[in-house]
Each structure stands twice: as structure tokens, then as C-alpha cells.
Structure 1
Amino acid sequence: MPDDITVKDNHIYGGWRQPVNISASVKDSIHDDETAQKLGMRGGTVAGNIHLEQFPPVLLKAFGPRWFECGSLSMYFTYATKDREEVRVVMDVPPEGAGDAQVETWMETADGHTVCKGTASVGTPGQPTSLDSIEVKNAAPEELRILSGLKAGDKLPPREMTVTHEDMSERLIVITEPLDWYQGNSPWGGAIATPTLMFNAMRVDFQLPIKAVSFQGAAELRNLAGPVKVDVPYRVGGEILSVGASPKTEFYWFDAWLEDRDSGKRIAELRLMRRFMKASSALYQDDK
């Protein structure tokens, strides 16, 4: 655990960190400087799932190891950061003595921007998470170009996957907040997956053939019978929740699940909103 976590005025403050834009070399993406600046961004952006990896030390301070077993982190992204810009996690202190609880949490930059905001919980607090509270709506089919043909209820075919030690070794080179448990000797008997590796494991939407620059608009990780472990075979699948449009983007929400390959026990879930920029698509060139 880092030694720079502080508690003040009913808030838990994580230390200032500098997340690395590990996808900066991916051309024609929101993460490379040239493409991002053409689309009106300040530069190549750090992916939202990388930011999720900064929360565990504060989650452990708030909820203890139980968060990895039955905790959630539900965040809406509001400000894109660039490579190594300083950010920190802030979280409300849970009610004293509460076994199950949900609190507000956010990430902020040194100059006062809110990178993401939402809720963190453990157990069954009896209230909706930040993303559960959002009423998702579908656009009329004629409003969609980039996501034409995609609709709520579409299944994302299941597949088998394993978070390997090689995956973990690559993450640990650039991880924002390393924990010893990611390398082994955890309370659950072996190495556990980082939030980013949990997220990546459930990205079953990558199989969709969509041609436009995209970014993560919101994400929720839920541990149901966690943690997700390294070198354990799982089965993952998902379903489109809704398909919508805004003035600058088309987007979809999807729910994904991860279960034990052999027993079928549900281990974790992901809800993700993925936005596609209209300005990056040839389907909108005539509108300029």
C-alpha cells in the first residue's frame, strides 16, 4: 500500500500519480497526438480503463480486501488527460461500522478538472450505482450511421480467456498503483488481476467491425465472487444494452460478464459506454 493516502474532512485522498498513455503509438486512435488534435483534443489521451487502476489503494482504505470480492467501481468520464498528467483519487469516507456501503468518488487533476466521477461500493448497499442511475435510451435507426444495424439485445458471442502472467508482467511495467497481490501471495492464494486487466478481459465488443475513432465514455466494474485471478481459465460474453447518438458522437452501452469456465459461476461484470466520434467517420464527411 502506498504511504501517501490521507484522510481529511470525511474524504480519503490518494497520492498524486502520472498515468502513462500506453496507447500513444496506436495510429488513427484517440490516443495518438496527431489524430486526437485533429479531433479537437489537447493531445493523445490516457484511456479510461488506465485511470481505473489508480483506485484500488483508496478502495482498500475505504472497504478493505472485501472490495475485490464483492465491490464495484462505477465511473463516468468527464475530462481527458494526456500522458503523465498528474491526477489523484478522492473518495468519501464510508459510514462507520457499515458492512455494506456505497460512497461517491472521483479523480481530479492538479488544476481542478474532474477526470471522472461516480460511486464505489462493497456488498449490497441497497442503492443503484452511478451508472445504474443513468436512463439509457436508444436512437431511432435513421439517426445512426457509424453504428447502423447495431441494436439493443444484440449478443456478443462468448469466448474463453485467461489473464496470464505475461499479461500481468506487461501491466506492471507501467501500472499507476502496483499492489503486491498482483504478483502473487494474495489473500485468495495467488495473483489477482488489476482493474485494467479485468476490464480488458471483458471487452467482448472489440469483435464489432466499426470504423471510427472511439473513446470510453463510462465504465463500471463489479466483483460478484471475485477476485479475478491470474492464470485461471474463464468464459466471457455480453450483450448490447442500448445504441444512441449525441451531436458529436454515436455510442453504445453494453454489459459483459466473466464466469468460471468449469463451474459457470459468475465472477465479475462490466458495463461500458463506448463513444464514436462523428468527425472521424467518412459517413459524416458530407455534413462538414
Structure 2
Amino acid sequence: MTPAFPDTTVTLCGPLRKPRQMLAEQTYDGHLSIHDDKTAENLGLRAGPIEGPTHFSQFDPLLFQVFGQAWFETGCISSHYQNMVVEGEEVRAYVQPPAAGERLVRIWAEKRDGTPVLTGTASVGDVPDSAHEIPQRIAKLRPATSLVINRDLKVGQRGAAKESIAMDFDQHMGGHYPFTLAAKLKVITEPSPWYTPEGGATSPWGRPIIPFEMISVLLGSTIDQAGLSGRKPAVGLFAGQQIRLVKGPLFVGQPYDLEREIVALSESARTESVWVRTRVFEAGTRTLAAEMILNAATLKASYANYETEARELGYTR
């Protein structure tokens, strides 16, 4: 018997996975990052967390099931990171299927015990940016009136240098990302032949594509050139992120040009955040291939002069 109405309440979910930690040796500004166990412990964390976009891979099979090939061409994943994951913990991804004709879905991820890892949205095609998790959070921000670490930065400030990037399989991506694409593909939670040299040739685009989680690596590898970070030394983490393909996929070995701009500044009790939009162009053209919005949060406790400078600036605590 045919049901009277389609079931729109069924949630898609993937298997429990144990994502791997690949940033234990990450460095910036001459020191180790929050992904180093000792640095994390010094800041009150139990171990170095796995970087947030690592979890994006667990959504790829689910979103490909919902949207098909379009997911890798015009897909957008927009995520607020809720709780850190350390190596050895298990995570499951969930997708709420769209109603008929809709191109936007809710997504979330949880640990085995139900602890939320991230929440957000995903879409394909020409869905308004304002429908997504990260732009909605930016729209609700209050003006930051007592910045210390990021007090020299301004909304609308652009990157200081033109950045040109590419990612080959065996290319070391620098101190921020001390591993290669080939190394990541050995441990990625959701492998695909389309990511590989051999299988890429049989992909719909005839060449290997960069996984969503590695787009974050690609765009983050040259961020220092932009000069859009606050006072140092300090330790930061990703608090939220949106990656949107406009004319995708992004391809292994293809060069791209980047432009960055600060779109918001904010603070919480423990952090100061710089929200940066990175636009990705096919090299030597104005053809927009992708965009990323990153909420890069710096821990106030990691900046040694925070309390002293806050008092000097007249900020009462």
C-alpha cells in the first residue's frame, strides 16, 4: 500500500568513526598549537583536540546520497563547533533529509554517548548565504567593545598580500599543517576513489578532487601571509566554519588565488574571535571557485599580557 504522505522525519546517519589526530606537531608563531597535548592541558583541556573540519568527511557520503554529484560542485557545509573530540573517541554524523524540492538540510554530529560535536546546515546550489549556520550566527553578534588581543583589527580589513596556493598529493602544507594529502587519505574516515590519483581519472571531472575537510587545510596553509591575526603569542582554535563550493570541485594540483577579509569581530568570556571570509579564485582569473568563512577564536588565557593590557585599556572585569 502506498503511504498517503512521504516520510520526511527519517534522519540519515553514518557509522561511528574514530577520526585521527594529525596536528600534534602543528606550529604557528614559533610555538605548538592547541592540538599538542601538553599545550592543551596547560589551557585546561584533557588532550589536544582533533581539528573541527576533520568531521566534515563523515557528512560527505550522506550528503552525496541526498544531493548527488552536485554536492561536490556547489555544496556548502556550515558548522558551529560545540565540543572538542580527542583521538580515540567515536563520532557519528547525522543529516535531516530535505522536504521535496528543498536544497538545504540540518546537520549535526555526536559522540557515542550523545555529546554534541557540531551543529549546522548543508546545501547545494543557489541557496541564500543567510540561510546557513555561520552567517546566521554572525548576524546575531553584538559589537565587540573590549577587545585586547584583536584590538588592532577592523571589520572590512583585507589580507595584506595576494596568496597563491595549490595542493599536490605529496606536498607538505607547512607548519600549520604538517602532513600531506597522501598521508590524510590513508586515515580519512570516508575514503573515496575520486580523491586518489588512480580513481580520480574516472571521477565525473576526469581528475582527483580535494576532500571538503582538506579544503580547510588548503586555505589555512598560507593564512599568515594575510596579516589578519591579533597580538601574539597566543593560542587559538576553530569555533565555527563554512565551506562553500561555487564552481567546484577544487582539484588536486590546480593553482588558486586567495583574497581574505574580516567580516566580523566578537568576544566571549573565554575567547576573542576574528571571522574571516576567504574567496578562492581560479589562478589568474576572477572566476570564483569557492569561499570559506572561519571563526578563528583565540583563548584569552593563552595571551600572557591579557589582564594587564585589559586594565591599561580601561576594561573592567
The two structures have a TM-score, normalised by structure 2, of 0.82
- The counterpart of 2:208, out of the listed 191, 204, 211, is 191
SS in 1 for 2:131: coil
Alignment correspondent of 2:22:
22
Alpha-carbon distance in 2 for matches of 1:229, 1:138: 38
Alignment correspondent of 2:185:
172
| 1:146–1:211 CA contact under 8 A, matched in 2 | no
SS in 1 for 2:263: strand
SS in 1 for 2:135: coil
Determine whether 1:84 maps to 2:51.
Answer: no
CA distance change for structure 1 residues 257 and 125 in 2, over 3 Å: closer, same or farther?
A: closer
Alpha-carbon distance in 2 for matches of 1:248, 1:63: 38
- The counterpart of 2:223, out of the listed 194, 202, 205, is 205
Code of the aligned partner of 1:64 = G
- The counterpart of 2:39, out of the listed 35, 38, 41, is 35
Per the TM alignment, residue 25 of structure 1 is displaced from its structure 2 partner at its CA by 3.2
Alignment correspondent of 1:105:
107
Per-residue CA distance 1:157-186 (angstroms, 9 max, x = gap) = 321111212242122122121111101121
Per the TM alignment, residue 32 of structure 1 is displaced from its structure 2 partner at its CA by 1.6
46-55 or 130-139: bigger deviation: 130-139
SS in 1 for 2:50: coil
CA distance change for structure 1 residues 255 and 137 in 2, over 3 Å: closer, same or farther?
A: farther
Alignment correspondent of 1:252:
274
Superposition map of 1:1-288 within 5 A: 9-26=9-26, 28-96=32-100, 98=101, 101-126=103-128, 128-134=131-137, 135=139, 136-140=141-145, 143-156=146-159, 157-166=161-170, 167-183=180-196, 184=200, 185-203=202-220, 205-207=223-225, 208=227, 210-284=232-306, 286=308
| 1:21–1:84 CA contact under 8 A, matched in 2 | no
| 2:8–2:98 CA contact under 8 A, matched in 1 | no
Structure number, greater radius of gyration: 2
Per the TM alignment, residue 138 of structure 1 is displaced from its structure 2 partner at its CA by 3.7
SS in 2 for 1:263: coil
| 2:8–2:97 CA contact under 8 A, matched in 1 | no
The two structures have a TM-score, normalised by structure 1, of 0.90
Per-residue CA distance 1:117-170 (angstroms, 9 max, x = gap) = 000111124561111212144412xx2221121111111132111121224212
Per-residue CA distance 1:203-230 (angstroms, 9 max, x = gap) = 2533335421100000001010100011
Gaps of at least 5 residues in structure 1 are: 1-6
Gaps of at least 5 residues in structure 2 are: 1-6, 171-179, 311-316
42-51 or 266-275: bigger deviation: 42-51
Which has more strand, going by share of residues?
A: 1
| 2:78–2:242 CA contact under 8 A, matched in 1 | yes
SS in 2 for 1:150: coil
Per-residue CA distance 1:93-115 (angstroms, 9 max, x = gap) = 1224x2x5101000110011110
Alpha-carbon distance in 2 for matches of 1:71, 1:153: 26
Aligned residues: 278
What is the aligned-residue RMSD (CA, Å)? 2.1
Per the TM alignment, residue 198 of structure 1 is displaced from its structure 2 partner at its CA by 1.1
Per the TM alignment, residue 42 of structure 1 is displaced from its structure 2 partner at its CA by 2.2
Identity fraction in percent: 32
Alpha-carbon distance in 2 for matches of 1:212, 1:273: 16
240-249 or 18-27: bigger deviation: 18-27
CA distance change for structure 1 residues 8 and 80 in 2, over 3 Å: closer, same or farther?
A: farther
Alpha-carbon distance in 2 for matches of 1:283, 1:151: 21
